[in-house]
Amino acid sequence: MFFSVIVPVYKVEKYLSGCIESVLNQTFSDFELILVDDGSPDRCPEICDTYKEKDERIKVIHKSNGGLASARRAGIKEARGDYVFNLDSDDLIENDSLECAYKIIKDTNCDIVSFSYKWVKNGHTVNITNDGLDEGFYTGKEIEKYIYPRLLMDKDMNHLSYYLSGKAIKRELLTPHQLGVSEKISLGEDLCCTLPCYLHAKSVYISKKEAYLYTVREDSLSKEFNTKQIYLIEDVINEISKNDMEKVIDFDKQVCRYSCFMCFTILASAAEGNHFKSIKPIKENIINSLHGEKIQCAEFEKISPKSRIAIFFMKKKCYKTAFYFLNVCKNIRNILKKG
């Protein structure tokens, strides 16, 4: 068996059938589909079992709720394919995604194939993201020169895709790193797995093919803003820092940039949603975590004026000013769209 497609499932009954069908409709048929029901309280367990009865390539794991890391751990233990392709249960893949990955692997024998993302909202493409590198095969010194500087973030705020989904990874490479991710990690679990995979990969293929269709869900937007994300990112940094990073010569600088970027992103998200009450706890959480020091040390070069100004205020610990600046930027953007 060539591929194991692992799909963690939790509270996605509206999207699950579409996700499963996108796998079953693949032009390449040598795969198993592992559906991991992570104690979903809706109809997802029933949907999984119904599809299992229809197609012998489907395996279903029912387990108590433990989070994404726990679900992926259960899936990788059951996987038997040469390569593993992770897929989120509310997303889709193009019908030739596995065939494309297979051809690349057969041509290059690479350890990792990383595809581009197409962000889809209500059936329309709203954005396309990729790893920011030229398409092609990277090995040895090329990995050190092009992959390692973007593991977390380079000076221009560029980075590899942090997502585990949308990648075909050799199972023998992925398994120990997937099993090694702490189940306590609830935000950034993907990075905690992809980073060591890249560190230990002998070869990587970066593809510009938009094989992965990420569903932009309006129903996933919470009315409440979780300022504890600051500490969750701190957990991620502590987790990835356990790896032997000697091969990444600027790892400490990348950590500072990543820390600053994630705090900036959280602040910008709060400003985007008009969560004015979150300003004070965001500031307190940053100052009381490792991020306070990391932000001061973060150095960037070619970044947008908006990012540069907001980060300048953050370095001055003027988080309220940074918040209102980002909020004004959002309002101006919306006015220009209407005009």
DSSP string spanning 189-217?
HHHHHHHHHHHH-SEEEE-----EEEE--
| Cβ burial, residue 338 (10 Å; 0-12/13-18/19+) | exposed
Confidence of residue 224 (pLDDT cuts 50, 70, 90): low
Q: What φ, ψ does residue 330 adopt, rounded to 5°? A: -65, -45
pLDDT for position 123: 87
66 vs 108: CA distance, rounded Å? 37
pLDDT > 90: what percent of the chain? 94
Q: Is the pLDDT of residue 223 over 70?
A: no
Strands annotated E in 49-123: 58-63, 83-86, 92-93, 112-114, 117-121
User: In which region does residue 303 sit, left (phi positive, over 0), alpha (psi from -120 to 50) or beta (all else)?
Assistant: beta
Three-state SS for 118? strand
Q: Is the pLDDT of residue 248 over 60?
A: yes
For the chain, list the domains and their CATH numbers.
3-220 (3.90.550.10), 229-333 (no CATH)
User: Which two structure tokens, joined as six digits, stand for 107?
Assistant: 């041509």
- Summarize the confidence of residues 142-149 as an average pLDDT: 97
Q: What angle do the packed helices 251-272 and 319-338 form, to 10 degrees?
A: 60
Q: What φ, ψ does residue 40 adopt, rounded to 5°? A: -65, 130
User: Which two structure tokens, joined as six digits, stand for 221?
Assistant: 């937007």
DSSP 8-state secondary structure symbol assigned to residue 134? -
Q: What is the mean pLDDT of the chain?
A: 95
Gap between the terminal Cα atoms of the chain: 55
Q: Is the pLDDT of residue 336 over 90?
A: no
pLDDT for position 220: 53
Would you say 275 and 281 are in contact if contact means Cβ atoms under 8 Å apart? Answer: no
Q: What φ, ψ does residue 79 adopt, rounded to 5°? A: -65, 140
pLDDT for position 59: 98
- Summarize the confidence of residues 283-301 as an average pLDDT: 97
pLDDT tens-digit readout, 168-221: 999 999 999 999 999 889 899 999 999 999 999 999 999 999 999 999 987 654
pLDDT > 70: what percent of the chain? 98
Q: Is the pLDDT of residue 281 over 50?
A: yes
- Specify the residue for token string 């500490």: 231
Q: Is the pLDDT of residue 222 over 80?
A: no
Which of 119-123, 152-156, 254-258, 325-329 has the lowest average pLDDT?
119-123
Cα–Cα distances (Å) from 82 to 108, 113, 169, 190, in that order, read 15, 13, 9, 20
pLDDT tens-digit readout, 46-65: 999 999 999 999 999 999 99
